[in-house]
Amino acid sequence: VQKRTLRVLISSVIVPGGAANLKGVVLTVQDLSKEAELNQAKSQFISNVSHELRTPLSSIKSYIETLYEYGDGLDESTKRDFLEIANLETDRLTRLVNDVLDLSRLESGREYHFEPVDIAQPIEQTLRTHQLTARERGIELSTEIGTDLPLVLGNYDLLQQVLANLVGNALKFTESGGKVRLSAHCTGDGNKVRVAIADTGIGISPEDQQKIFDRFFRVENKVHTLEGTGLGLTIVSSIIEKHHSQIHIESEVGRGSTFWFDLDGYLETCEWPRREAA
Ligand code: ADP
């Protein structure tokens, strides 16, 4: 049995053309199930956000309180450790607030400006901004961009954010000695561009693959770092949907993961080469 939320309005009216004082009753029934469902999802989100914010906040508070009340009895290195933890937790809080704001902006129904984008540009920018982290973690980060790519129709900043989130994850969940590759090629049907981020990292089980796009979901494992918010992939999937597409994943535990999506070409097709081979 499916539960529904209904609103029933009863009003009395004079019957037009009827005898004087002849009254009728109008019943209006509104189905509010969709609205009730949305409200419930909203309250669930607010309660999740509050929970996620409370954890770092209470940790920061307890370290600062200890320093404030018992600081005199602590040695210098313990004090530094406490301050460092409070500092890291503050960074985490900032990331959480930023992610929640990004997500709520994406879901507010606001219109984003779409323009012709040469996808090679945000890809190369992502390579530059993540190369240092990749080197520090001993991971080979590379790009492979087709020479025949058409321009795609998209929002540059949002696409940049998708690439940064996916490459950030790939680097986070790949061990030293591994590889992360960003690629863009024309699809078989000739007027779409397929963008893929492939890593040789820890991989994701089929069961977890169903959940990773859910808000705040994070796989419990040894790489479960302070860095994550569990909102990154929700943001990625929402942005790709704004581009009338879908994010896909192929992954095998212990071998690695590939996240990919297609973008519509803008006027041109792959048959009209426009990028020179490097
Ligand atoms: P987080 O901020 O924790 O990275 P995301 O929404 O970006 O949140 O990702 C959700 C979870 O999906 C991560 O915590 C991780 O368990 C898993 N995940 C995401 N990307 C990868 C990847 N490339 N390899 C392995 N696991 C991944």
Give residue 273's pLDDT band: very low, low, confident or very high (50, 70, 90). very low
Residue in 199, 181, 189 with CA at minimum distance from that of residue 145:
181
Nearest atom in ligand 1 to the alpha carbon of residue 230 is: 8
> In sequence order, what are the beta bridge partners of 134?
none
Give 96-111 pLDDT, tens digit per residue: 999 999 998 898 888 8
Expressed in angstroms and rounded, the spacing between residue 192 Cα and the centre of ligand 1 is 27
Q: Is the pLDDT of residue 277 over 60?
A: no
Nearest atom in ligand 1 to the alpha carbon of residue 231 is: 6
Q: What is the reported pLDDT for 199?
A: 98
Residue in 67, 85, 63 with CA at minimum distance from that of residue 76:
67
Q: What is the reported pLDDT for 212?
A: 93
Average pLDDT over residues 222-227: 61
Q: What is the reported pLDDT for 254?
A: 95
Expressed in angstroms and rounded, the spacing between residue 129 Cα and the centre of ligand 1 is 19
The C-alpha R_g of the chain, in whole angstroms, comes to 26
Which residues fall within 8 angstroms of residue 178, CB to CB, at 6 or more apart? 139, 140, 199, 200, 201, 256
Residue in 197, 114, 204 with CA at minimum distance from that of residue 157:
114
Ligand 1 site, residue 56, Cβ cutoff 6 A? no
Beta-strand pair 152-154/115-117:
antiparallel
Average pLDDT along the chain: 88
Nearest atom in ligand 1 to the alpha carbon of residue 227 is: 2
Q: Which range, of 74-78, 198-202, 249-253, averages the lowest pLDDT?
A: 74-78
Q: What is the 3-state secondary structure (H, E, C) of the chain?
A: CCCCCEEEEEEEEECCCCCCCCEEEEEEEEECHHHHHHHHHHHHHHHHHHHHHHHHHHHHHHHHHHHHHHHHHCCHHHHHHHHHHHHHHHHHHHHHHHHHHHHHHHHCCCCCCCEEECCHHHHHHHHHHHHHHHHHCCCEEEEEECCCCCCEEECHHHHHHHHHHHHHHHHHCCCCCCEEEEEEEECCCCCEEEEEEEECCCCCCHHHHCCCCCCCCCCCCCCCCCCCCCCHHHHHHHHHHHCCCCCEEEEECCCEEEEEEEEEECCCCCCCCCCCCC
Q: What is the ipTM of this complex?
A: 0.98
Q: What percent of the chain has pLDDT over 90?
A: 57
Q: Which range, of 1-15, 123-137, 215-229, 242-256, averages the lowest pLDDT?
A: 215-229
Give 19-72 pLDDT, tens digit per residue: 766 778 888 888 887 788 778 777 878 888 888 888 889 999 999 999 999 988
Q: Which of 102, 163, 173 to mutate to test the pocket of ligand 1 (most atoms within 8 A of CB)?
A: 173
Q: Is the pLDDT of residue 77 over 80?
A: yes
209: how many CB neighbours lie within 10 A of its CB?
15
Q: Is the pLDDT of residue 79 over 50?
A: yes
Q: Is the pLDDT of residue 235 over 90?
A: yes
35 versus 192: the higher-pLDDT residue is 192
> In sequence order, what are the beta bridge partners of 25?
12
Q: What is the reported pLDDT for 76?
A: 92
Q: What is the reported pLDDT for 133?
A: 94
Calculate the alpha carbon distances from 83 to 47, 56, 73, 91, 94 in Å.
29, 13, 15, 12, 17
Q: What are phi and psi of 175, to 5 degrees?
A: -85, 165
Ligand 1 site, residue 196, Cβ cutoff 6 A? no
Ligand 1 site, residue 201, Cβ cutoff 6 A? yes
Q: Which range, of 14-18, 164-168, 218-222, averages the lowest pLDDT?
A: 14-18
CA 187-192-195 angle, to 5 degrees, is 70
Q: Which of 55, 95, 169 to mutate to test the pocket of ligand 1 (most atoms within 8 A of CB)?
A: 169
Give residue 1's pLDDT band: very low, low, confident or very high (50, 70, 90). low
Task: For residues 277 and 268, give the distance between their C-alpha atoms in angstroms, rounded to a whole number.
Answer: 18
Expressed in angstroms and rounded, the spacing between residue 212 Cα and the centre of ligand 1 is 7
18 versus 119: the higher-pLDDT residue is 119
